[in-house]
Structure 1
Amino acid sequence: MIRCLEERSSGLLLPTGVQQAVSTDRALAMQLSKQRDVEKVHTTPINSLDLDPVEMRYLISGASNGTIAIHDLHNVTGQPQYTCPLLCTVDRCSQHAHKYSVETVQWYPADSGMFVSSSFDKTLKVWDTNTLVPVETVACRERVYCHRLSKIATKHCLIAVASSLSQVNLVDLKSGSYSHILKGHKGAVYVVDWSPQNEYVLASGSSDNKALMWDVRMAKNCIFTLDQHNGDATRCGPHAVQTAHNGAVNGLRFTADGLYLVSFGTDCRVRLWRTDNGQNMLVNYGAINNVHEKCLSIDVSSSLNPEIVFVPHDSNIDMLCLHTGTKLQRLVGHYNDCNTLVYHPFHQELYSGGNDRNIIAWLPKTASSDDYQEHLKETKLKKGTSRETKKKGANVNLMQDTWSSDED
């Protein structure tokens, strides 16, 4: 950090470089927060979390009993010890609540006044945040594992829906009906994610071990199929089916620049892909336990060097270097499996939820006021001790003489 400041003062480093260095140091110092807590409301496992993309202030969560809750993360008290309050909830007592497990919740990208939820009750609901009443309910033929809205779309309002059907359904938010269907998988589709670079590009992962890249303007075929062997016939055979993993693909996340895609499979492997040609970058992240037959949340940091991948590993969260696969840190705090997580890019914070029914805040390690006061106390004690020692030494030297007590 001192070197960065020196380079900045001499004009060798741009202000964004200093900002990146500070953000990276904060992210690498992430730990279980002792001062930040999230008010507990869920009585069943938490399946999904999402931060509103406008203010990055409101955290929405969905649980396996159909409950949806919204918390305010902004500290209005100014005190270091703070509990994020519950603003509102849609519980099982509400006539509008989902009947079964809520698998995904997501804020509308342009406004926190609306959010979308999907459930095992075969419905997709668009909610008005102010009234907590669904303004649109889309009936699906099978239970829904995941849905996603594009955060950069300006020319369409499509919601990609992954369900137990072997296809990706696209729902038009304007009409509330299906726009078209993307066929290519041979098993249940667990996860979908939109590219942050191109509003028409979509990735999907399925129980058939495949991950496909789509251009939604092309309804016939996908752009390409991700192949873990990069087309090497000596390893997979000339007639072998191209697969991204040796197990179901239930986790996908694009990097912030859209140049790479991170996938997670039930073969306990994480893989990194180029999005322009589907090349496997062959980064070894090590084995990470994954036995879930549902969508599992992973996230990638932005504006850091190196970029960090956050992956649930049983009841823990592994922080991995994006391009080298190095394990940077393991976050330990949940009492049961972690199902979902979301990274706060402004404050370098992480929020996670799991089967222990808790939402945990992970914050950068900083010196608290108590630690600072204790440090000052120790410093004063050390200074006082050194002064007393010097005084004693000076007195001893002044009282000493060269006379001997021997009279001879």
Structure 2
Amino acid sequence: MLGLLSARQGGFNEPLTLRRAESTRRVLNLELNKDRDVQRIHGSGVNTIDIDPIEGKYMLSGGSDGVIVIYDLENISRKPQYTCKAICTVGRSHQHSHKFSVETVQWYPCDTGMFTSSSFDKTLKIWDTNSLLPAEVFTFEGTVYCHHMSPIATKHCLIAVGTKNPKVQLCDLKSGSFTHILQGHKGEVLSVKWSPRHEHILVTASADSKVRFWDVRQAAGSVIVLDQHNGETAKSSSEAGNTAHYGRVNGLCFTSDGLHLLTIGTDDRMRLWNSSTGVNTLVNYGKVGNESRKSLQFTVSSGCSPDFAFVPVGSCISVYDIYSGQLLTELRGHYNSVNCCIFQSDFQELYSGGSDVNILSWVPDLGRIVVEEEEPVGGLQANLNRLAQCAN
């Protein structure tokens, strides 16, 4: 760190270099925080969590008991030991609560005045945060597994919804109606994600082993169907034979820059794809255990070099170097399977929810050093010598 600070002070490194190096150091030192608790509200497993992208202060959680909770993550007391309190709850006794398990929650990308939730009760609800009342309710024919709003959209207000029905449905917040139906999958849709780079590009993953890219401006079908073999096998077959995994595909996550896409399947494999061309980069992550029959919420870091993927595997969270495939560490603290995790990029912290009813916080332990930092080109002493010459 001292070497990087000296190099920055001397003008040998750009500000972004120091920021990325410190962010990376913090992520590599993540440990379970024994001083910070998250108030336990859920009566059964935590399925999904989300942190608001505006302030990074409020966290949503949804559980298999149908309960939705909003937490304040800020430490107002300034004491080392504190508890993240629940500031409001949509409990079982709430008139408009979900009847069954909540599978996905998401903050409105522009402010904290609204959030969304979807459930096994076949509904997607749009909530007013201040009144804790649903402003709109969309009802579907089949079980709802997932939904997602674009984090960057300015020309549409569409929510993509994946259900037991193979058809992906798009709900328009402006009109309060269904606007599009995307047909192509042959099995239940387990995960949907909008591109953080192109607001009209949507990716969907299904139990039919396929991952499809859609441009919602086009009336035609999917623009890309990912092929794990990059077209090297079954060349005579049509696009219909392309599969991303050998099992169900139940997890999707874009890298922070949107240039790559990570997918996870029940074949115990994670794959990295070029999101522009749909090419499998063939990064080998080894066996990534995945026995989930539902959508698996994993996450990636932001602002690090390299970036990292945090993947729930059993009762631990595996941390991978995205571009080399190396397993760097495993975060252990849950007593049962981990269902979801979310990265807080402002402070390089991680939050995870599991079937043990707990939400755990993982923060950098800066008292230990995992890796030696590389000195700037020429070494610290050489840079100091240059500074001395400039002073003379």
Partner of 1:349: 349
- Larger RCO, structures 1/2 (Cα 8 Å, 6+ apart): 2
What is the CA distance between 1:15 and its match in structure 2? 1.4
SS in structure 1 of the partner of residue 115 of structure 2: strand
Q: Deviations over 1:249-279 (max 9, x none)?
A: 1000111111000001000111000011100
What amino acid sits opposite 1:94 in the alignment? H
Partner of 1:102: 102
What is the CA distance between 1:367 and its match in structure 2? 4.1
1:321 is the counterpart of 2:318: no
Structure 2 matches for 1:42-191, cutoff 5 A?
Answer: 42-191=42-191
Distance 2:367 2:312 in 1: 28
What amino acid sits opposite 2:135 in the alignment? V
Structure 2 matches for 1:188-267, cutoff 5 A?
Answer: 188-233=188-233, 236=234, 238-239=236-237, 241-267=241-267
Distance 1:232 1:75 in 2: 54
Equivalent pairs counted in the alignment come to: 366
Distance 2:83 2:5 in 1: 35
SS in structure 1 of the partner of residue 217 of structure 2: coil
Q: Percent identity?
A: 50
SS in structure 2 of the partner of residue 17 of structure 1: helix
Distance 1:264 1:32 in 2: 25
Distance 2:65 2:5 in 1: 51
What is the CA distance between 1:34 and its match in structure 2? 1.1
Partner of 1:277: 277
Q: Deviations over 1:315-363 (max 9, x none)?
A: 1000100100011110001101100110000000000001001000000
Distance 1:91 1:309 in 2: 32
Partner of 1:31: 31
Structure 2 matches for 1:332-371, cutoff 5 A?
Answer: 332-367=332-367
What is the CA distance between 1:65 and its match in structure 2? 1.2
What is the CA distance between 1:35 and its match in structure 2? 1.1
What amino acid sits opposite 2:28 in the alignment? L
SS in structure 2 of the partner of residue 6 of structure 1: helix
Distance 1:146 1:329 in 2: 29
Please identify the structure whose Cα radius of gyration is greater: 1
Distance 1:238 1:12 in 2: 55
Distance 2:37 2:367 in 1: 18
What amino acid sits opposite 2:343 in the alignment? Y
Q: Deviations over 1:142-185 (max 9, x none)?
A: 11000000010001000000000111100001111100101110
SS in structure 2 of the partner of residue 62 of structure 1: strand
Call closer, same or farther: CA 1:113–1:91 in 2, change over 3 Å: same
Partner of 2:5: 5
What is the CA distance between 1:237 and its match in structure 2? 5.9
SS in structure 1 of the partner of residue 25 of structure 2: helix
Distance 2:286 2:356 in 1: 26
Q: Which runs of 5+ in 1 are unaligned?
A: 369-408
Give the structure with the larger helix fraction.
1
Whether the aligned pair in 2 keeps the contact of 1:181 and 1:219 (CA below 8 Å) is no
Q: Deviations over 1:88-118 (max 9, x none)?
A: 1011111100011110000001010110000
Distance 1:10 1:282 in 2: 40
What is the CA distance between 1:219 and its match in structure 2? 2.8
